[in-house]
């Protein structure tokens, strides 16, 4: 390589590094980022958010396992919302195998509608064996069956302005993911676990599976979904404002 070409390639390398660093660092000021509340640890969340988005293509799959590797999975947090706050609503839909359960999908969509369990079961399905990772330190390998969230979003015709998908549960959980995770092929509204109907303790009738983020993003007992053009931090009592990372990539 000649002197000048070496110089050129070095310059472009340095330029490349600088712009990479710029992209990572500017993450903290972009309007669609998770909020930091001036908290230095929350700024780290944004760094991992952009680093993951940079390193993995939007569609990179979480590792999938063999049936022989399935392990037992403890039920964590709420194991039956019928006995907690707002339990009446869950108690009502729990009857008759969730015959009256409907999940409403609204917000930034052209065709808002609700889906019954049979509606979801009639749509395209995906089965995947993945490792659930809880922030408490345990992991479990489990088979999940469900409808890709992308199929549901296609059915309601999300608008081009949509940036986030918010999801709410019967036990008061609210969370959201960006469109890259929402449209990811492994992001499921899961109604099956290890070849059976999803048990109540694991989130019946339908739970979210977000395989490239930590366990608490996979919200159980889904009640409704809202497609949104703007980031929602769900207010002062929310997990995000209580210090839980919004983007918890693994």
Ligand X SMILES: Nc1nc2c(c(=O)[nH]1)N[C@H]1C(S)=C(S)[C@@H](COP(=O)(O)O)O[C@H]1N2
By the criterion CB under 6 A, which residues form the site for ligand X? 73-78, 134, 169, 171, 173, 202-203, 215-216, 218-221
Q: How far is the CB of 141 from ligand X (least distance, A)?
A: 12
For the bound state, the minimum distance from the C-beta of residue 219 to ligand X, rounded and expressed in Å, comes to: 4
Would you put residue 235 in left (φ > 0), alpha (ψ -120 to 50) or beta?
left
Q: Which is nearer to ligand X, 93 or 109 (CB)?
A: 93
Q: Where are the beta strands (DSSP E) in the chain?
A: 102-107, 113-116, 126-133, 139-148, 164-169, 174-178, 188-193, 196-197, 207-209, 222-228
Here's the x/- map for Mo ion, 180-219, by CB under 5 A: it reads as -----------------------------------xx---
**Closer to ligand X at the Cβ: 47 or 76?**
76
Nearer to ligand X, 158 or 190 (CB): 190
Beta bridge mates, 127:
145
Instruction: Return the one option of ligand X, Mo ion, none that residue 202 interacts with (CB less than 5 to 8 A, by type).
Output: ligand X
Contact range with Mo ion by CB under 5 A, out of 87-95, 131-139, 170-178, 200-208 = 131-139
Structure tokens at 134: 């809880």
Q: Identify the residue whose tokens are 């079961």.
A: 121
Q: How far is the CB of 230 from ligand X (least distance, A)?
A: 23
In the structure encoding, which two tokens stand for residue 227, read together? 């497609």
Nearer of residues 101 and 221 to ligand X, judged by Cβ: 221
Min separation Cβ 155 and ligand X, Å: 23
CA-derived radius of gyration, the chain: 20
Site for Mo ion in 132-151 (CB under 5 A): 134-135
Provide the β-strand partners of residue 207: 190
Judge residue 231's burial from the number of C-beta atoms within 10 Å of its C-beta, 0-12 exposed, 13-18 middle, 19 or more buried: middle
In the bound state with Mo ion, the residue whose beta carbon lies nearer, of 83 and 138, is 138
Are residues 140 and 74 in contact, defined by beta-carbon separation less than 8 angstroms? yes
Binding interface with Mo ion (CB under 5 A): 134-135, 215-216
């Amino acid at each position: 390589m000649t002197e000048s070409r070496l110089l050129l390639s070095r310059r472009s390398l340095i330029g490349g590094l600088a712009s990479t660093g710029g992209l990572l660092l500017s993450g903290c000021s972009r309007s669609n980022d998770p909020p930091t509340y001036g908290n230095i640890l929350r700024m780290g969340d944004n760094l991992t958010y952009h680093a993951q988005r940079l390193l993995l293509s939007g569609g990179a799959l979480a590792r999938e396992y063999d049936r022989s590797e399935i392990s037992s999975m403890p039920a964590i947090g709420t194991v039956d919302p019928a006995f907690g706050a707002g339990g009446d609503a869950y108690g009502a839909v729990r009857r008759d195998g969730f015959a009256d359960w409907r999940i409403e999908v609204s917000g930034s969509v052209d065709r808002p509608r609700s889906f019954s369990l049979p509606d979801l079961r009639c749509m395209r399905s995906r089965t995947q064996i993945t490792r659930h990772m809880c922030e408490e330190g345990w992991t479990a390998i489990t088979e999940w069956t469900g409808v890709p969230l992308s199929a549901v979003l296609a059915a309601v015709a999300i608008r081009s302005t949509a940036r986030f998908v918010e999801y709410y549960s019967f036990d008061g959980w609210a969370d959201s993911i960006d469109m890259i995770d929402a449209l990811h092929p492994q992001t499921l509204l899961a109604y099956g676990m290890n070849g059976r109907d999803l048990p109540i303790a694991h989130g019946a009738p339908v739970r979210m599976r977000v395989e490239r983020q930590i366990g608490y993003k996979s919200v159980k007992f889904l009640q409704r979904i809202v497609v949104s053009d703007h980031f929602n931090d769900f207010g002062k009592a929310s997990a995000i404002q209580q210090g839980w990372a919004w983007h918890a990539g693994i």
